[in-house]
Amino acid sequence: MRLPRRNLSLLVLQLTVLCVSRACVPQIQVPQDTTTRSKIGFLPLPIFYYTPETGFAGGAALLMFYRADTSDRTARPSSVMFDAIYTQKKQVIVEVSPDIYLQQDSYRIMGSMIYIKYPQKFFGIGNKTPDGYEENYSSRAFRVSVDAVRKISGSISGGISFFYETRTLSEFKPNGLLEAGTILGSRGGTTLGTGIVVHWDTRDNTFTPTAGRYCQFSLRASSPKLGSDFDFSRLVLDLREYISITEATVLAAQALATIVNGSAPFHKLAELGGSGIMRGYYEGRYRDRKLLAGQLEYRFPIYWRFNGVVFAGLGDVSPTLSRFRLNDVKPSYGLGVRYMFDPNEKLSLRLDFGFGRNVSGMYITATEAF
């Protein structure tokens, strides 16, 4: 299940976007504040978005921000986000997300503690599961994850990762694969592991890049030796490039590879679809041990603060890298509109319509897809 991991990370970014936006909170520019009058502040924030996986979703959040040393005017402020969300599809998400900077930003500790009650869909495993097949089920999970990274050189940083999750599943489709217990992970269980993460980031802007590149490598492993019920590893390589064609137009490209080895539960397999890459497909519509996907997006001005995008992508999943076949690859394409509510920080709201093979999806959220 990728939505609680990827989309909640995106949601935290959305909330951070809202809190720093002069357009939304003109009297408060907290994360950019360089005064020394207060070490701790609080900011309440509303939450609203739409994806095919959740329907309309709403909630509230509280951002606590602080500086360990108010005399340091260059250090980034640390923050802790508390949020609670309820969706149209009766999903409940409660999360605490710290983002801590230490020693003049040389060290960064990012994490989350999440409780999820999440009715969702299972379509089977593999890249040829029938279009009409799906199983509804409900998942309850408690997850803790922590990444601790250090600047290595220039734009490169790296560090270690820790994750823990306990999950129970219920309300299966009668006589389905999950109810039969033939799918690994359908009886729930505990996942516990550690790993490494490396980032290389030369983007000129985090929210709406127009130049530079972003590369992320992560390798995480779960083992019974650590107390986990599952023994597997998961490698993710995410490569992004941004090219300015003219002053106002940008060509953005992304390549994504996920490789899962070992005895992974079905909800930890590589999944295709979602609001970030392969838009139009339900997150997890196709899942297997390996994922290869890529997309191009052309971003151009329309009028005033409105911008447009057209995008296209290709992707697929497979049990092994050698079994990827060109005629099995799924297409993704679509278009969207952006409203830049803060031109100074390049913060946008987005509306995307994505299409795939016999599927489509609409996405209303903040920031670019990648």
Cα–Cα dist 261/223, whole Å = 12
Which residues, listed in sequence order, are joined to residue 93 by a DSSP beta bridge? 85, 116
Cα–Cα dist 105/146, whole Å = 17
Q: What is the pLDDT of residue 132?
A: 83
Burial of 53 (0-12, 13-18, 19+ CB in 10 A): buried
Q: Convert the pLDDT of each residue in 148-174 to its tens digit.
A: 999 999 899 999 999 999 999 999 999
Cα–Cα dist 359/121, whole Å = 15
Average pLDDT, the chain: 88
pLDDT at 75 over 90: no
- 3-state SS string over 76-88? CCEEEEEEEEEEC
Q: Convert the pLDDT of each residue in 107-146 to its tens digit.
A: 999 999 999 999 999 999 999 999 888 999 999 999 999 9
Q: What is the pLDDT of residue 303?
A: 95
pLDDT at 44 over 60: yes
pLDDT at 8 over 60: no
pTM for the model stands at: 0.86
Under 8 Å between Cβ of 370 and 363: no
Q: What is the pLDDT of residue 344?
A: 84
pLDDT at 30 over 70: no
Greater confidence, 226 or 11? Answer: 226
Cα–Cα dist 253/292, whole Å = 14
pLDDT at 91 over 90: yes
Q: Which of 24-33, 47-56, 230-239, 295-304 has the lowest mean pLDDT?
A: 24-33
Cα–Cα dist 46/84, whole Å = 10
Question: In terms of Cα–Cα distance, which of 330, 335, 338 is closest to 359?
Answer: 330
Cα–Cα dist 46/31, whole Å = 18
Q: Which domains does the chain possess?
A: 92-366 (2.40.160.50)
pLDDT at 330 over 70: yes
